[in-house]
Chain A
């Protein structure tokens, strides 16, 4: 792992397939997470499934940062939890260092958790309000027998706090006494406390103020270098993901639609959804904003309980074709496009034709999707009601 501890490995060129090399730390194969929808008066009957994650293959190599990006409801958080087996996968395997995590249970799984840690979105909610920072940080160490010598444990606590840039006085304090960014630092220190190899960070900065986000992003980069960590960063903010990741996977409705090195994805986005996503991200520069061509998607995200047939994106795709798109589900493949790196994989039947300009975009009429509340639905609190305003 010595050569990869910098966390900035460049993808090796020349391979035609996905990374199957020995360098792979996490190998996810065909993972599916389906949530049953149950209804019933006395006995619950399963009347359908929410296909939150529906067949994802991905490999994360030692020391790299893999970014998973997608909009709410695409299943990226569920995928992250399935990789940790916090959400038991319906099918598929997650091989971590040669062990299939997806099939582990009970005490074996609990011990294995030492190697994979998680950083959460909501820094307040993910810290037990009744625990002091000291007890928060010691808990995982005790659970894995790392705190048997109290003097050594104490030294380790100080080391952890130093790594995340907090003073030792923080130890006796409680989560509610910190600011949002400081709490996220505690969350990162907790993840580091058990010496993990992989950290899954689920929207690590989206709950923080703009001016604080950069602190946490830099901190994540620093501790990656210091402790030789591998990251899976899950976020909806493409700019954040691109900044922090070496490789990026784009998710849409439970599946990967494109995977590429971070620079390649920005330089040559191939999947129509990736293109739309890229063009929708606002850039804080009026000159760019005035010039840019936006691909505005119409309609809503289809419900994950009733995904479209064929390509999941065909209902909203401006490049949709009469054949194949609505009948045949595209596989993630290396496209035959000149100048595209072998590490870039796309799940679109018409990648080559779109890239060469043979197929052009056409208008799509909007379609309203009836809402079924899925597990990924998030409700936000608002300030007031419209009736109050009028």
Chain B
């Protein structure tokens, strides 16, 4: 809303005033008459600022968002350019000859290998860097599939209502009643051969009901809103009401949820990999899977687990910070 005492506006008005007062001279009353507003009140000449634009201008100054965005951006860039950045081939057992299964299964840090190597003699630093790519793919793809599934179900339920709503929501309720990790296990376990895609599908399945419920709730709120009633009264086509008014206005909580879900998807993927339901092929490093492999050496070589865990935490934190500040920026109540 246009704050009546917005400082810039105030300054501008004062400048206008000063100008008219200066030139007015003897014909002061005329200058003052020009100043008085029309019936409808003053409207600034500038072009309009949409909600998205004003949310963005707030986000740009939010340090929490900037930190989250920085972490996320760094992670994405790392994932894209990982083969170029990694100092060594993550699949080559370069330090294999240092591995002593009885006395020292894990080669320690040395020049060129800052975090040492794993039990197969592969450089951990390079594996962490290259692993970012798989982690990103799993996190983003799982969220995307969950988002699309939830969007479809939620839109169906929220837009059509009636028995469609009842059926969809009962299915969603059943899915929500199963603990999420258990559901993911079940889905992952059904697959004949565990792979990266079983992890993605399993995690997406868990996210579908959450997105569906969230979207349906805000669609229902939109359906009862005055502006949707106004569109109906105007004679706008029902499909246009759903896709032009209800859906876009319902999306902001869902988008916020999506950024938060990326973080939890990465953690869930790690959990599945840790439990052996992830991609068994360790030539494609992935943080969760590295964490799982580190389990047997956890007492003597905790660093092996700490590094991938730290990576997961930082990236999850990045997405969460971004999501939280997005939630605040898009919340109509926080707008002044």
Residues of A within 8 Å of B34, CB to CB, are none
Determine the interface band of chain B, counting residues with CB < 8 A from chain A: 35 or more
Question: Within the complex, which residue of B51, B227, B236, B245 is in contact with A176, where a contact is CB–CB below 8 Å?
Answer: B51
Query: Do A169 and B45 contact each other (CB < 8 Å), given the known contacts A127-B230, A129-B51, A178-B2?
Result: yes
Q: Give the number of chain A interface residues (Cβ < 8 Å).
A: 45
* Contact present for B229 and A126 (CB under 8 Å): yes
Nearest Cβ distance between residue A315 and chain B, in whole angstroms? 32
Question: Within the complex, which residue of A132, A165, A166, A194 is in contact with B235, where a contact is CB–CB below 8 Å?
Answer: A194
* Contact present for B50 and A174 (CB under 8 Å): yes
Residues of A within 8 Å of B48, CB to CB, are 132-133, 172-174, 177
* Contact present for B234 and A113 (CB under 8 Å): yes
- Is B8 engaged at the interface, CB distance under 8 Å to the other chain? no
- Is B192 engaged at the interface, CB distance under 8 Å to the other chain? no
* Contact present for B226 and A122 (CB under 8 Å): yes
Residues of B within 8 Å of A194, CB to CB, are 234-235
- Is A125 engaged at the interface, CB distance under 8 Å to the other chain? yes
* Contact present for A172 and B236 (CB under 8 Å): no
* Contact present for B227 and A166 (CB under 8 Å): no
Question: Within the complex, which residue of B41, B230, B232, B237 is in contact with A179, where a contact is CB–CB below 8 Å?
Answer: B41
Question: Within the complex, which residue of A121, A140, A165 is in contact with B39, where a contact is CB–CB below 8 Å?
Answer: A165
List residues of B (73-125) whose CB comes within 8 Å of A's CBs. none
- Is A117 engaged at the interface, CB distance under 8 Å to the other chain? yes
List residues of B (21-65) whose CB comes within 8 Å of A's CBs. 38-41, 43-45, 47-51, 54
Contact with B along A137-179 (1 / 0, CB 8 A): 0011001100000000000000000001111011011101111
List residues of B (159-199) whose CB comes within 8 Å of A's CBs. none
Question: Within the complex, which residue of A120, A130, A133, A170 is in contact with B230, where a contact is CB–CB below 8 Å?
Answer: A120
* Contact present for A181 and B230 (CB under 8 Å): no
Distance, CA A84 to CA B231, complexed state (A): 13
B228's nearest neighbour on chain A, judged by CB, is: A128
- Is A62 engaged at the interface, CB distance under 8 Å to the other chain? no
* Contact present for A139 and B234 (CB under 8 Å): yes
Residues of B within 8 Å of A178, CB to CB, are 2, 43
Contact with A along B1-13 (1 / 0, CB 8 A): 1100000000000
Query: Do A128 and B231 contact each other (CB < 8 Å), given the known contacts A122-B226, A172-B47?
Result: yes
Distance, CA A165 to CA B38, complexed state (A): 8
Residues of B within 8 Å of A372, CB to CB, are none
Residues of B within 8 Å of A215, CB to CB, are 39-40
* Contact present for B51 and A174 (CB under 8 Å): yes
Q: List 26 A-B contacts (CB under 8 A).
A: A110-B238, A111-B235, A113-B232, A113-B234, A114-B235, A118-B229, A118-B233, A125-B227, A126-B226, A127-B230, A128-B245, A129-B51, A132-B48, A139-B234, A139-B236, A139-B244, A143-B240, A144-B235, A166-B40, A169-B43, A169-B44, A174-B49, A174-B51, A176-B51, A182-B40, A182-B43
Interface residue ranges, B against A (CB under 8 Å): 1-2, 38-41, 43-45, 47-51, 54, 225-227, 229-238, 240, 244-245, 248-249, 332, 335
